[in-house]
Amino acid sequence: MYENSYDIDDERMVSDVSEHGSTDMIQVYANWKYRPGETVIINSGIHYMQFLLNNNYSIEPRFGVKWQFHPRQSLSAGFGIHSKAETLTNYFAKRETKNGEIIQPNKNMEFGKARHYVLGYDNNIAKNLYFKTEIYYQELYKVPIEDNDTSSFSALNYSWGYTNIPMANKGTGTNNPCLGN
């Protein structure tokens, strides 16, 4: 990864990202399925994720239940915690301090996290016609935001490139209920 930018104040090119190397992400998932009766299915699981660059890890429970209340219709509900790593350029970006030291302010940034809540309805209307709808709510927490109380910079509004702005996992957010077919 390599990127330069022009510092207008100092009138010089500055290396923002200049890294060679690699990292890995370890992910493991275990799932359990249980049928307490003919009409109910319970799924539960645990997801483990570890980012080897900074050894940040997350243990995430998942749970779902489906009730087949009619031969062609069912209701479902689910809950899960999900984590998200930021782009590698954010972890590797460099910044020069006032005393000339080069630092990587976000190398140890943690995962952003979200709690997902889902309710669903399924209907096999006919042999070749199926209807499914879900409503969900997503509660975001530990979102990377600029570590400055007067800033509104958030990783939620940032999807490409890099930033060498020092960030902290203090942000929150929500995705309001949405319908999907």
Of 178, 158, 65, 60, the C-alpha closest to 106 is: 158
Q: Could you list the pLDDT tens digit for every one of the 181 residues in the chain?
A: 777 788 898 888 887 667 777 899 999 999 999 999 999 999 999 999 999 999 999 999 999 999 999 999 999 999 999 999 988 888 888 888 889 898 889 999 999 999 999 999 999 999 899 999 999 999 999 999 888 888 888 887 776 667 778 889 999 988 866 544 4
Tokens of residue 161, six digits: 């490139």
Distance between CA atoms of residues 119 and 132, nearest Å? 11
Distance separating alpha carbons of residues 134 and 94, to the nearest angstrom: 43
3-state helix, strand, coil in the chain (%, to 5): 5, 65, 35
The answer, as to whether pTM is greater than 0.85, is no
Q: Is 123 helix (H, G, I), strand (E, B) or coil?
A: strand
For 102, the token pair is: 């080069």
